[in-house]
Structure 1
Amino acid sequence: MSTHLEPPRLSAPVAGLIGVIALVAALGAGHLVAGFVGAGASPFFAVGNAAIDVSPGWLKDFAVRAFGTADKAVLLTGMAVVALALAVAAGLASRRRSAPGLVFVSVVGVLGGVAVFTRPDLGQIALLAPVVSLVAGLAVFGWLHRTALDGQYSSAARRNFLLAVAGAGAAGVAGQLVGASKDAEGSRVAVGPLIPARTAPPVPAGADFAKFGTPPFLTPNADFYRIDTALVVPQVRTEDWSLRIHGMVDRETTYSWSDIRNRPLVERIVTLCCVSNPVGGPYISTARFVGVDLAELLAEAGVAPGAEQVFSTSADGWTAGTPVAAMADPSVGAMLAIGMNGEPLPVEHGFPARLVVPGLYGYVSATKWVTDLEVTTWDARTPYWLRRGWAKHAPIKTQSRIDAPRGPVTAGPVRVAGIAWAQHTGIDRVEVSVDDGPWEPAQLSTEVTVDAWRMWWADVAAARGSHVVRVRATDRSGYTQTDQLADVLPDGATGWYAITFTAR
């Protein structure tokens, strides 16, 4: 009589744990190598960046609306949850044979390799990260699977599991430490004071109505909005940075950090606004920027006839297209900025250098970590967001917002306050309407520059009950913002902002 012996089978918890540890080991090894070849080569971040790059414009807009500046954290968290779930599933599918898990690790490795290979800011050496990640994942999965099958309840098996976990964790931490050694913050601190030869006008006491609930006129760097596609903030030191101006120019030119730092610097107060800002949204801020005039740099290069756009590229490969007229016209005040609110640019806001072009939405003008300016035509080069359905020309639209009151108020006179903006044109007046009543003029703050926002306030009568107050602005050209609601895609939102408050 013959007996049939069942092949050994791992318990479900052990099998799932093997999948998770192999995944963590693969990602940790890749992160370690990325510390040497470039943080963006980390397979986890490379796949995340690829997901951002292939996302359509409407999905990006949804992410900003739904999660705000936490959109990247949400993406990374979601990726981690999905990856862990798949790793557990791969482990469970490998309770008898290791093949399903090895296939899973291989697929993850290939995806990481493709993501790294297609990154415009990474060279071929960056492929080492996903290759090492793949090898580590396969080795750890196979080793733990064999160990567990040979004796999943033995002390040796438990010891191997602990070694694998510790090794994966150490690799990830080591990668982070190596990457930190290339941190740009030390280079930023070494820049020292940036003293402009031409200063911005002083900000008078009446420039904001913060005591009534508006934001301060100048936005602290820590509070300045940040919307970009960088999952990993580029770490660029001044000694490694340069700016190349080429294309349809008479003289191709490359500037080092010292070349820019030692030029006469100019200071301008500019309000920047994201095209993803909905009506009444938060993605608008104002700062003192210090840098050099882009018009001067372009004049030195000599812009050729027929040029239409300046195609700018970031250190992480992101691109934007700005009309040549906006950059080459000295009256616009376009800048290569290296300072912000009395200090070198914060790393997350573009250090060592970024573009600032008054009057244009950021996606066509505000390239951070900028390293390359190509003077070209619209047909020759298509910037990042134009490929995703956004408009070629994107002047900031005249808009207004209500910041106060927030919450219940006492019946009677109620002070309403907010901001209005029409960069490079200027705000002429702001009006409010309560419960569809007549439009009443608001008191405007002192104008500092037409390139910055203005604050406003108005006292309105409010009996007990619920009320709706609306606001609209009229700019210096005579245009009054439309009441027609439009989405942010393709060139910025429109409509009157309204809030509801209760008087008691």
Structure 2
Amino acid sequence: MLPVTERQRTREAAAGVPLGALIGLLAGAAALGVAELAAAFTGPRSAPLIAVGGTAVDLTPEWLKDFAIRTFGTHDKQVLLGTVAAGAVVCAALIGVLARRHRVPASGGLALLGLAGVAAALTRPSTTAVAAVPALAGTAAGVAALLLLSARAARAAAAHRACGDRRGFLFGAGGTVLVAALSGTAGRLLAGRRSVAGARRNLRLPAPSSPAAPLPAGAGLRVPGVTPFVPPGRDFYRVDTALVLPQVDPGTWTLRVHGMVDRPFEITFDELLRLPLLERDITLTCVSNEVGGPYAGHARWLGASLPELLRRAGVRSGADQVLSRSADGFTASTPIETVMDGRDALLAVGMNGEPLPIAHGFPARLVVPGLFGYVSATKWVVDLKVTRFADDRAYWTRRGWADHAPVHTMARIDVPGALKRVRAGWVPVAGVAWAQHRGIAAVEVRVDGGPWRRAHLAPVPNTDTWRQWFLEWDAAPGTHRLEARATDATGAVQTERRADPYPSGATGWHSVVVTVT
């Protein structure tokens, strides 16, 4: 049997673990609150959680990024930030437990976490030294709170009957909570003042000098469950690297066009709106889209001609790419030959009759039909550098994705859905197909590996859009496999060969298995 004093020490040590964890969590909350307040002045991307999250995105291997997009879809960013926050909570709790006996090493551990935040903030694209301020301020607040609370907890433990010591710890803990809450709330309120939602709401776009023709009658098939030809804006897919939406004020926005050009120039948003604006129906597709996946969307875009902007600058011989950069530092590389081949490549300012949503690039973005978005659809664009692929690499191409990324010919079955149960008899099989800038000439469907049957195609306004298709199937009871394939207007048939999205987009026939009763 242990001596009484040893038993007491063991009991006190065990009881000190939850208290130490609480101290660490309170210190971490103070650190994050103060950091958020500082980030309201230096920019939201400099907040430690956002900066660390952005670095995590950059360092994540491609297979894990694909898994996150497939598994979590448009919620992948929330999952990432939640994971970073959970890691911070665990680290703070462990540091607090360590501080119950070793305050100096624990403070050093918290300082190291702060330095990681500093490093992450300083390595973000288009950043300055001021980005380190939130992490430094937060670290100072966190270390101060850790030392204060652990010291008061130690005094209370040494004289546990002294109410004054307990009261001192409670006062310290309450003060720390107050600092964390007030600074965090103030930071969020101040950051909200950066929002450009009001500027977007008040913006009135000019009428297009070249309006799009009305959609042909029947472009949207009235088949329940088929994706609308023009989906509601809230349903338009969003895949990008921005953990916080850039808030770009159109009043201060400029686009710089430079590099291998004869006449570099800058243009303001007001000047952009005074240019001839084109209105065009264009379907975009993300390279992360799996076969049959949801990351394709259609909209009516309004914007200035990108080829005309490049002609104004005077592209020099030897240049083969436009390296575009967004306000948050993301870059994309677009082949110049594709931009200049006659397609309606746009510097877009409008989407479906309204200014661009903030989530989709307000105030300006690129839209180049026929290419996957990672080389053609830079949101919040602020810079166009005419250069060569041999000299400059963009965000995704540095990570092994293809330089030239034409969208593949693809058909998707929307109805019946995978693993659905349908009644025997005539069943509608319908969906969408796309081969932007080539156009869809045919869609075929087969059942259980049988003969291919041609589907009815809805009319489309141009070859840059997706196309709805429809087939009636006389379904017999049992379990059946439906497959679809498309043929583009060049005569190329969608390949059966299965390939993952990396490095140049997924390929293969889309199929669903259904049960007929």
Q: Structure 1 residue 111 and structure 2 residue 116: aligned?
A: yes
Match of 1:249 in 2: 261
Match of 2:162 in 1: none
- Equivalent residue letter for 1:223: D
Work out the number of aligned pairs and report it: 501
Which residue of the other structure, out of 306, 309, 320, is the alignment partner of 2:318?
Answer: 306
Q: Structure 1 residue 295 and structure 2 residue 295: aligned?
A: no
Match of 2:387 in 1: 376
Which residue of the other structure, out of 390, 397, 403, is the alignment partner of 1:392?
Answer: 403
Q: Structure 1 residue 454 and structure 2 residue 467: aligned?
A: yes
Match runs of 1:167-246 below 5 Å: 167-246=179-258
- Cα separation, 2, equivalents of 1:175 and 1:250: 45
Cα RMSD between the aligned structures?
1.7
Match of 2:330 in 1: 318
Match runs of 1:351-500 below 5 Å: 351-406=362-417, 407-500=420-513
Question: 1:229 is paired with a residue of what secondary structure?
Answer: coil
Question: 1:286 is paired with a residue of what secondary structure?
Answer: strand
Question: 1:86 is paired with a residue of what secondary structure?
Answer: helix
- Contact kept, 8 Å, 1:422 with 1:451, in 2: the verdict is yes
- Cα separation, 2, equivalents of 1:499 and 1:273: 21
Shift of 1:6: 7.4
- Cα separation, 2, equivalents of 1:478 and 1:328: 24
- Cα separation, 2, equivalents of 1:170 and 1:221: 36
Question: 1:71 is paired with a residue of what secondary structure?
Answer: helix
Question: 1:27 is paired with a residue of what secondary structure?
Answer: helix
- Cα separation, 2, equivalents of 1:33 and 1:283: 36
- Contact kept, 8 Å, 1:398 with 1:421, in 2: the verdict is yes
Question: 1:154 is paired with a residue of what secondary structure?
Answer: helix
- Cα separation, 1, equivalents of 2:488 and 2:134: 53
- Contact kept, 8 Å, 1:311 with 1:320, in 2: the verdict is yes
Shift of 1:210: 4.0
- Contact kept, 8 Å, 1:40 with 1:46, in 2: the verdict is yes
Unaligned runs of 5+ in 1: none
What fraction of aligned residue pairs are identical, expressed as a percent? 47
Match runs of 1:120-159 below 5 Å: 120-151=125-156, 154-159=166-171
TM-score by length of 2: 0.94
Shift of 1:121: 2.3
Q: Per the alignment, do residues 452 and 311 of structure 1 end up closer, same or farther by CA in structure 2, a change over 3 Å counting? A: same
Match runs of 1:16-55 below 5 Å: 16-55=21-60
- Cα separation, 2, equivalents of 1:368 and 1:224: 14
Shift of 1:76: 0.8
- Cα separation, 2, equivalents of 1:93 and 1:133: 20
TM-score by length of 1: 0.97
- Equivalent residue letter for 2:406: P
- Contact kept, 8 Å, 1:194 with 1:339, in 2: the verdict is no
Match of 2:285 in 1: 273
- Equivalent residue letter for 1:281: G
Match of 2:87 in 1: 82
Match of 2:161 in 1: none
Match of 1:95 in 2: 100
- Equivalent residue letter for 1:470: E
* Higher mean C-alpha displacement, 213-222 vs 201-210: 201-210
- Equivalent residue letter for 1:367: T
- Contact kept, 8 Å, 1:209 with 1:215, in 2: the verdict is no
- Contact kept, 8 Å, 2:455 with 2:471, in 1: the verdict is yes
- Contact kept, 8 Å, 2:282 with 2:299, in 1: the verdict is yes
Q: Deviations over 1:253-301 (max 9, x none)?
A: 0001111012121111100000000000000000011010001111110
